[in-house]
A and B are shown apart, each in its own frame.
Chain A
Amino acid sequence: MSLTANCTFDLNTSSDFVGKRSGYIQIGDSTNNSGWAHHTVPITSVKNGSGPRVLVLAGNHGDEYEGQIAALDLARRLEVADVKGEVLIIPVLSGLASAAGTRLWPNGQNFNRVFPGKVDGTIAEKLAYFLSNDLFPTCDSVIDMHSGGRSMHFIPSITMVWVSNLELRKEMLRQSLMCKSEFTLLGGEQPSTNPDSLLPGDVVRQGKAVATGEFGGSGVTTAQSMAVISSGLENYLRGMGVYVGADVAASVYADSIDHHGKIIDSRDYSISFASASVDGIYENRVDLHQKVEAGDLVGLIHNFKSAENQVVEVRASRSGTVALVRGYSPVTTGDVVCQIGELFPDLESFEKSLTEKSAR
C-alpha cells in the first residue's frame, strides 16, 4: 500500500459489489502557494459483480489527447449494466502536462520513464508508485493509450512491443488483434532505454499483458483518429469480456470492420527509424501509408537562418510502409523523423515470414 497516494473511493470492494463510482486519486503535495495540498487525478470505476478487472489508462504523455478524450467519454457513458467484472478508468494520468500541451510534466519528468515510481518521490513518481504497487497487481490487464505527441504522427494503430516472454507475447498479440484496428504496429524495445521504466514495461515486468496504441499525433486530434481509438477501446473491452453493452463506438469506424488485422513489422529499430543528422526545420516528403524503398528521400532539413539555402536530405534505410512521420517541425540531431515497417495483410502472412526467416 502506498503511504503517499490514495483513492477517494474504496478500490478493494468485495467481488459481488455493483456500482459506478467517480472520484480522485489524491497524492500528498506541498507547493509554494499551497503548503498542505493534494494533487488530484480523476478516476472512475464501473463494477458489476465478479469478472476481470481491466485498467484503462490515457494521458501518460500530456500532449497525446485521443486516448484522454476516449477515456473521458467512456468514463461518462459506461453504466453498470454495460459491464461484467470491473472497468477502472484513469483518463488523464499526466494532468499538468495535458493542460500545458506538453509531453513531459512541468518538472521535466516523462511519466513513461519513472516506473516503478517512488513512494517518497515527485508527484509523478508517487503516482507511478501507486499504479505499480496498488493498482497493477489487482488488475487482470491494462490498456495504455498513446498518440505520438507533438513531435510525431503515427498511422492510428494498436502498437505492441515484441516482448521476450513468449507466453506473454502470444497473449499481447491476441489482445492487440482483438481491438480490430486496421493496423497493428510491431516495435522493438526503445533504444537506450530501460524497458521496465515505461508504464507498459512495468505491467509486463509484473507478468501481465498490456495493450498499447498510438492513435495519431502532432498534439492534435481529428474526428478520424477519435473513431479509430474509440472503436479500438470498445473492441478491446468487449474482447476482454468486461464490456457487454451496446456497440457504440465500433460501428462508426467502418475501416476496422472491413480491413482490420494488418500488421506493420518495424521491430528492428536499427533500420526502421530515420533520424535528423543536423539541427533545422524538417519538411516531410513522404506521407503515412506511403511505400518507400531503401535509399528513398523521406524528408529535408532546412536552415532558414542562412541565405545559402542548402538542405540536408534524410533517406530511408529500409524498404516498407511509412508508419510515422514528423510532427513538430524544428528538429535536433538525433530526433526521429520517420518510421518504416514491412506491411503484412494479416497475422498468417506475418507468422509465415517469421517461420521462413527462422528456417533460413
Chain B
Amino acid sequence: MSGTVSSSIDFDKRGKESGYLKAGDSTNTSGWAIFNLPIHSINSGPGPKVLIIGGNHGDEYEGQFAIANLMRELNVGDIAGELIAIPSVSYPASFASTRLWADGTNFNRIFPGDENGRIPEKIAHYLATELIPRVDVVIDIHSGGRGHHFLESATATWSDDKKYRSDLIKNLNGWKTRYSLIFPSHPGTNEQSLLPGYVASLGKSLFTGEFGGSGVTSATSNRITRAALISALKSIALLKPDFHSEGYDHQIKIENREFIDMRGGATYHWAEEEGLYQNKKRLGEKVEKGEVIGAIHFPDSADRKPHLVHAGRSGTIGVIRGYPRVKRGDCLMLIGESYSDLNQLPE
C-alpha cells in the first residue's frame, strides 16, 4: 500500500481503461500539485497478469513507442488475462531526452522506492508494493540511452537459481529476436535497486531487452521492438495466437540466432582518457584480442596523438559507444562470446 500514490483506474474492473497514477507533488510554482503518470489497463478475466514498463530511462524510446502504439491497438478480445502498461514511466526525462530525471534520479537505481521520497521514488514504491506484487510477469524495455548503442536484443541477467534461470531463458527466447545478450550482475551496483533486479528478487517472471541506443530511434529499431513485444506477449499466452498487427506479426526471420555471453572477463571496455571517442568497429562485428576497437582523440591539442583502445578479449561486439565525448570510466564497448545455442553456455 502506498499512502502517497493512487490510481485513477480500477485494475480489477473488466475492460479497457486509461488513466493516471497520481503522486502528491509540491513545487515552487504549484504548491498543491499532483504528478500524473499515464497508465493503461486491459482486463479480460482469467489468465496471466502482466505489467509492461517503457521509458525506465527517459532517452530510450523504442519501448515507449511500442507500448503506446500497442495499447492503442489492443482490445479486450485480443488478450486472455490482465495487462497493465505504463508507456513512459520517466516521462519528464523522456521530454528532456535524458537518462535521469531532472533531479538527477536514475529510476533504475531506486527500488524498492520510498513512499515519502521524491516523485520517482514514490512511483517506484507504488510499483514495488502495488503493481509488481499484483502481476505474474514484468516486461521492462530499454534501449541503451544516449551513451550506448546496443544490437537490438533480448537481455537476461544470469541467475544462480536454476529454476528461475530456466524461466529467464524461456522468456529470452520468447522475444524471438535475432540477438540475445547474457549479462552478469551490473558492476558496482546493488542489483535489487534496479527495477528488473527487484522483480527477480521476488521470483517473478521477467522480460528485459535493449533495442538500440544513442538516444534516437530508427524505423527498423521501432519495428523490431514492436514485433518483439508482440512475440513476448504471445509466448506467455496473454496475447491470443491469432492476434495480427499489420506489419509487426513475426516479420523478423530468425536465422543465425546469436547468444552473446557478457559474463566473461574483459567484456567491458572503459575509457582511460578524456576526449573525443571514435568507434572503429561495428555492432555485431567479430574482433580478436588486441585489435584496435576505438580511438580517443584530443581535439584541443594540435599535435597530441590519439589514445588507442584495444580489445581486451576476442569475441562479438554487442554494444558500442553513442555520445562520443567521453571521460575516464565511461563505458565504450562490450565484447562477449557468441553462441548459436543457449545450451552451450558455461555455468
* Chain A residues close to B by CB (< 8 Å): 22-24, 40, 42-44, 59, 65, 68-69, 72, 75-76, 91-92, 95, 98-101, 150, 153, 218-224, 226, 281, 283-288, 290, 300, 302, 304-311, 325-330
Complex contact B219–A285 (CB within 8 A)? yes
Determine whether the beta carbon of B18 is less than 8 Å from that of A307.
yes
B300 → chain A closest CB, angstroms: 7
Residues on A with beta carbons closer than 8 Å to the beta carbon of B20: 307
* A72 and B149 contact, CB distance less than 8 A: no
Taking A281-B94, A330-B94 as known contacts, 19 extra A-B pairs with beta carbons closer than 8 A to each other, sorted by chain A number, are A22-B303, A68-B276, A68-B299, A69-B295, A72-B306, A91-B299, A95-B300, A99-B325, A101-B324, A219-B215, A222-B279, A222-B282, A283-B65, A284-B218, A285-B222, A300-B69, A304-B64, A304-B88, A330-B97
Q: Are B282 and A223 in contact (CB under 8 A)?
A: yes
**B102, CB-defined interface residue at 8 Å:** no
Contacts of A43 in B (CB 8 A): 302
* The one of A283, A306, A311 that contacts B222, using a Cβ cutoff of 8 Å: A283
Contact check, B299 vs A98: say whether CB atoms are below 8 A apart: yes
Please report whether the interface of chain A is mostly helix, strand, loop or mixed according to DSSP. Answer: mixed
Q: Which residues of B contact A306 (CB under 8 A)?
A: 38
Known: A218-B215, A287-B220. Is A307-B40 also a contact (CB below 8 A)? yes
Q: Contact check, A309 vs B299: say whether CB atoms are below 8 A apart.
A: no
* B40 adjacent to A220 (CB under 8 Å): no
Known A101-B325, A285-B222; judge A329-B279 contact (CB<8 A).
no
**Residue among B215, B305, B322 with the most chain A CB within 10 A?**
B215
With A43-B302, A72-B306 known as contacts, the answer to whether A221 contacts B279 (CB < 8 A) is yes
**Which residues of A sit under 8 angstroms from B146, Cβ to Cβ?**
219
Q: Does B217 make an interface contact (CB < 8 A)?
A: yes
Most chain A beta carbons < 10 A, residue from B20, B36, B217, B222: B217
Q: For the complex, what is the distance from the CA of A307 to the CA of B84, rounded to whole Å?
A: 13
Interface size on B, residues (CB 8 A): 55
B311 touches A (CB below 8 Å): no
- Ordered nearest first, which 4 A-B pairs have the shortest CB separation? A304-B88, A42-B302, A22-B302, A307-B38
Q: Point out the residues of chain A lying under 8 angstroms from B305, CB to CB.
A: 76
Contact across chains for B68 and A69 when beta carbons are under 8 A apart? no
**Is B87 within 8 A of A309, CB to CB?**
yes
Q: Which of A59, A218, A224, A288 contacts B299 (CB 8 A)?
A: A59
In the bound complex, do residue B219 and residue A286 qualify as a contact, i.e. CB atoms below 8 Å apart? yes
Name which residue of chain B comes closest to A89, CB basis.
B302
Could you tell me which residues of chain B, from 317 to 336, have a CB within 8 Å of some CB in chain A?
A: 320-325
